[in-house]
Structure 1
């Protein structure tokens, strides 16, 4: 049976990952601090701490891979159609030269990559809240598509 204190600590570990919106790398620092302080006291807290860190590291890897793909493609699409004597004051410059140029498919792929990154961050936020609710109810929650770094 999981105690109220264990449920609260596990919930706090999940919610501490939201610190990333206030403190850079807060989604790694705060869950790690809470988990390492309480992991030996409760198997439930230990399990939830591992789940949070596995998920956060997985999201980091997915984001880095998508950025490594999307950013160079967007830069290529932008600079490929950029003439040497470009008039940046023209309102039609972006539409004519980049989006409708010969590399418009590259621009679309890059934009889709950026949209996927935004989608991942929104899903991350929702899943953190969902996992915190599950932990507060005493349920074990496995984040989807999470790589098991800590077992």
Structure 2
């Protein structure tokens, strides 16, 4: 049976993912605590808890892949412009200014990856608000782009 209390619990579970801005991995910890304590009492809370956890894991994986793609490219680009003589003789690192001609397709790919990671974070923020509003009204919510780890 779905009651207003369970709607509120599901909504709070979605909103608890915002704890990531205060605590590392709060977006996993708090929803899991709420879900595991309430999943036996309500099928609706169980279903929405799985949605929250699946979405948070999916976004985490997408962002890790994007960032791990971009970081080595940026490091290689910067290291190509470091004068190692100044590192070993003057104890300072001097990086030449990177010219437009130095930006290759792979650097553009890395920039796109970083922009996508930022947009994904913004997408997560707005989808979480939408999910909280929908579940507070008792409506089922399914996150887009979510990998179904928990079924």
TM-score by length of 2: 0.88
CA shift for structure 1 position 109: 2.0
What residue is the counterpart of 1:84 in the other structure? 84
**Conserved in 2, the CA contact under 8 Å of 1:74 and 1:106?**
no
For residues 101 and 47 of structure 2, the distance between their equivalents in structure 1, rounded to whole angstroms, comes to 52
Deviation at 1:40, TM superposition (A): 0.4
- Tell me, yes or no, if the aligned pair for 2:38 and 2:46 is still in contact at 8 Å: yes
Matched pairs, number? 146
Instruction: Identify unmatched segments of 5+ residues in structure 1.
Output: none
Alignment CA distance shift 1:99-1:11 (3 Å): farther
Distance 1:33 1:84 in 2: 51
How far 1:27 moved relative to its partner? Answer: 0.3
Question: 1:148 — aligned with what?
Answer: 148
Question: Structure 1 length as normaliser, TM-score?
Answer: 0.88
SS at match of 1:127: helix
The 1-side partners of 2:82 and 2:101 are apart by: 10
Q: For residues 78 and 101 of structure 2, what CA distance do their matches in structure 1 show?
A: 10
> Equivalent residue of 1:23, what SS?
coil
**Secondary structure of 2:145's aligned partner:** coil
Query: What do you get for the CA RMSD once the two structures are aligned?
Result: 1.9
